[in-house]
Chains A and B, each alone.
Chain A
């Protein structure tokens, strides 16, 4: 009788600890234990705001390809374009063919180093797709698709 009561008490305590751990973990997550500053990339304005610390260090830069700035040389495989987030703008120099969805107004993330000459030298170029899925319609501007692009991670 006492043995079964002890077993039941121990069982309850085990479940109680499990539930306490769960509640504590969720509370920690919800009330800001997680670092909101973990960002996959910096925006042009954020990189520029770092000043001297932003130069010549490996960093990821993300934003939209500013329409009309793409210069692609087929023979030298040399690619130049500007990345913008609406407020800031940084020139990017990259080599090699970009992903097939690269175009004006598309979201991109480039890995590389920001030079003191104001040009970001990219070693890797990724296209950031938005969460929009649209059937093509006549006369629709593809640029309108990326309005939700920069939303993630904004505090």
Chain B
């Protein structure tokens, strides 16, 4: 295939570094709030504080993969490259958060459950979600041709995002070792406040990372476009 006639545009960084600083500060503040104000849980002691990263990371995994879903659908409808690059950026961030969710869950599970891992519906479906999006990122690395990469990625991204509601509902649909979703009625207010603060902080961090990875993806795409244009003997790429 030939390279597109025009180079993809790189979005301006603008004030995003300031938003990044705000996201980082809010994360530090929310973590400090959680670590300093929460009393030890009557069963778990201070192990409970893993909740302040594990739960927001799990929620933002869902948010990131929802962005993949929407961007992939928009790519298929419009065939505009920017949607494909946004989907890839959200998938990267989502995969990292998904891995973090699994790792922290295991660290919490070993002292609480007595095992690092077990094959119940929640844990298994979360691992499958992680593997799908690791596969999504690997797929992007394997395909050199732009249109095919974008189309195949969109298909895998949509199929992967279908698993998000399965992961969320798994504890309700099946009997699992993992507990049900907590709610303010099952969690003391002193923990709820810290959890909410951390959820917002991790949301800001997620938005920031998706945005900056999107800028990086656009820069990488321009570099690829220039290489292709050069290889085809065209103008050296404006």
Partner-B contacts on A (CB < 8 A): 11-12, 14-15, 18-19, 21-22, 25-26, 29, 34, 36, 38-41, 62, 98-102, 109, 124-137, 140, 142, 145, 148, 151-154
For A25, the chain B residues whose CB sits under 8 A away are: 162
Please determine whether B188 and A135 come into contact, CB atoms closer than 8 angstroms: yes
Q: Which listed residue (B159, B174, B186) contacts A38, Cβ 8 A?
A: B174
Tell me if B236 is interfacial: C-beta within 8 Å of chain A: no
Complex-state Cα separation, A41 to B155, whole angstroms: 35
How many interface contacts (CB-CB < 8 Å) are there between A and B?
131
- Contact call A21/B191, Cβ cutoff below 8 A: no
- Scoring B residues 166 to 190 as 1 if CB is less than 8 Å from chain A, else 0, what string do you get? 1000011111110111110011101
Given contacts A99-B114, A134-B41, contact A129 B158 (CB under 8 A): no
Find chain A residues with CB under 8 A from B113 CB.
99, 126-129
Which chain B residues lie closer than 8 Å to A12 at the CB level? Answer: 77
Asked if B174 and A39 sit within 8 Å, CB to CB, the answer is yes
Is B128 part of the binding interface, using a Cβ–Cβ cutoff of 8 Å? no
Contact A19 B73 (CB under 8 A): yes
CB distance from A37 to the nearest CB of B (A): 9
CB <8 Å contact, B41 and A133: yes
In the complex the two chains form, is B114's CB within 8 Å of A135's CB? no
Which residue on A lies nearest to B110, using beta carbons?
A: A99
Q: How far is the CA of A151 from the CA of B183 in the complex (A)?
A: 14
Q: What are the interface flags for B92-111 relative to A under an 8 Å C-beta threshold, 1 for contact and 0 otherwise?
A: 00000000000000000001
- Inter-chain contact A29/B114, CB cutoff 8 Å: no
Q: Could you say which residues of chain B place their CB within 8 Å of the CB of A136?
A: 39-42
Chain B hits for A36, CB < 8 A: 173-174
Interface flag for B120 (CB, 8 Å): yes
Q: In the bound complex, what is the Cα–Cα distance between A36 and B113 (angstroms)? A: 24
Residues of A within 8 A of B171 (CB): 152
Neighbouring A residues of B191 by C-beta, 8 Å: 133, 135
Chain A residues in 8 Å Cβ range of B151: 14
- Do B186 and A133 touch across chains, with their CB atoms under 8 A apart? yes
Query: Does B118 have its Cβ within 8 Å of any Cβ on chain A?
Result: yes
Kindly state the separation between the CA atoms of A126 and B187 in the bound complex, as whole angstroms.
23
A142 touches which of B42, B72, B158 (Cβ 8 Å): B42
- Please name 20 pairs of A and B residues whose Cβ atoms are closer than 8 Å in the assembled complex, sorted by A: A19-B73, A21-B159, A22-B162, A36-B174, A40-B118, A40-B121, A40-B174, A100-B111, A101-B111, A125-B114, A126-B114, A126-B118, A127-B113, A130-B179, A131-B187, A133-B41, A133-B51, A136-B39, A152-B171, A152-B176
Please report the total number of B residues contacting A with Cβ < 8 Å: 47
Interface pair A129/B115, CB less than 8 Å apart: no
**A22-B162, A152-B175 known; A135-B155 Cβ under 8 A:** no
A99 near B111 (CB under 8 angstroms)?
Answer: yes
| Contact (Cβ within 8 A) B77 A99 | no
Cα A135 to Cα B75 in complex, Å, equals 48
A62 to B176, CA, bound (A): 10
B 38-68 binary contact with A (CB < 8 Å = 1; else 0): 0111111000100100000000000000000
Any A CB within 8 A of the CB of B165: yes
B181: which A residues are within 8 A, CB to CB? 131
Contact code string B183-214 (vs A, CB < 8 Å = 1, else 0): 10011101100000000000000000000000
Q: Does B9 contact A (CB under 8 A)?
A: no
| Pair A101/B73 contact, Cβ less than 8 Å | no
Min Cβ gap B39→A in Å is 4
